[in-house]
Amino acid sequence: MPNSENRRLEPIRIVAEGYDEIADRYLDWSATAPVRLRYVERLLDLLPSSCDVLELGSGAGEPVTRRLAERHRVVAVDISSRQLELAAIHAPQAQLMLANILDLAFPRESFDAVVAFYSLTHVPRSHHADLIERIVQWLRPGGLVLLTMGGADNPGSIEDDWLEAPMYFSHFDAATNRALIQRSGIRILSADVVEEDARDAGARFLWVIGRVD
Ligand SMILES: C[S@@+](CC[C@H](N)C(=O)[O-])C[C@H]1O[C@@H](n2cnc3c(N)ncnc32)[C@H](O)[C@@H]1O
């Protein structure tokens, strides 16, 4: 494989191997995280019944995929096979896909909502604008996004011991992310920086809910 292709895949490989190793620990650590629960309920309030929902980086499927799949048809994508094994237990109704978010291709207007809870911040930020453009294409008119994005600037870093495995992170700050969303044609309904609770003290994410017209 050429060096440039190796460099492109390196962060993705770190994330995939990392989550294969820590999936069970991450599930215990995050099980009762209140912010995520609040936002999934907000999205459910906005969606009409029986929608097509794409979830990017679904993880173990608890609680987000499970809650979504109780009411909607869900395609849940993740790059970690262990995460998808757990998602199959928690959200058996969802259609699970082992794939890199960056390699996805769907026909235009396939979904009523696209959600990404804490996954985009593992994708090198040079891809974020392009990915958001593609998400917009996949949405039907009136479709919704719910995205957890970075609250602070991080061009790309590896934490050697994140829940006992190496993990890759990359994101823009909140103002840049808001601008990126607006440029893509998504109308922002809310975009707030929210601090995590004690288990991830100091971490701040931008929570975006938006609509394409
Ligand atoms: C922090 S976990 C969050 C999981 C889940 N959304 C939740 O809230 O519990 C991030 C998830 O995104 C997945 N992920 C990260 N980068 C990805 C990529 N490029 N393609 C597919 N999945 C990815 C990881 O494997 C992991 O399961």
Question: Percentage of residues in the chain with pLDDT exceeding 70?
Answer: 96
Mutate to test the pocket of ligand 1, among 100, 122, 159 (most ligand atoms within 8 A of CB): 122
Q: Which residues of 135-164 are buried (b: 16+ CB within 10 A; e: fewer)?
A: bbebbeeebbbbbbbbbeeeeeeeeeeebe
Domain that holds residue 197: 3-211
The Cα 152–Cα 34 span in angstroms is 21
Report the chain's mean pLDDT, rounded to a whole number.
Answer: 95
Q: Which amino acid is at 25?
A: R
- Specify the ligand 1 atom closest to the Cα of 116: 6
Residue 31 has pLDDT above 60, yes or no: yes
- The CATH number for 19's domain is 3.40.50.150
pLDDT band at residue 1, thresholds of 50, 70 and 90? low
The Cα 24–Cα 33 span in angstroms is 15
Spacing, Cα 58 to ligand 1 middle (Å): 6
pTM attached to this predicted model:
0.96
- Specify the ligand 1 atom closest to the Cα of 19: 25
Residue 173 has pLDDT above 60, yes or no: yes
What total of structural domains would you count in the chain? 1
Q: State mean pLDDT over 102-120.
A: 98
- pLDDT value at position 202? 82
- pLDDT value at position 8? 65
Q: State mean pLDDT over 49-69.
A: 97
Q: State mean pLDDT over 149-168.
A: 96
Residues 8-21 pLDDT 10s: 679 999 999 999 99
- pLDDT value at position 7? 65
Mutate to test the pocket of ligand 1, among 19, 35, 119 (most ligand atoms within 8 A of CB): 119
- pLDDT value at position 5? 65
Q: Does residue 126 contact residue 42 with C-beta atoms inside 8 Å?
A: no
Q: Which amino acid is at 153?
A: D
Nearest CA to ligand 1 atom 10: 119
Q: State mean pLDDT over 96-102.
A: 98
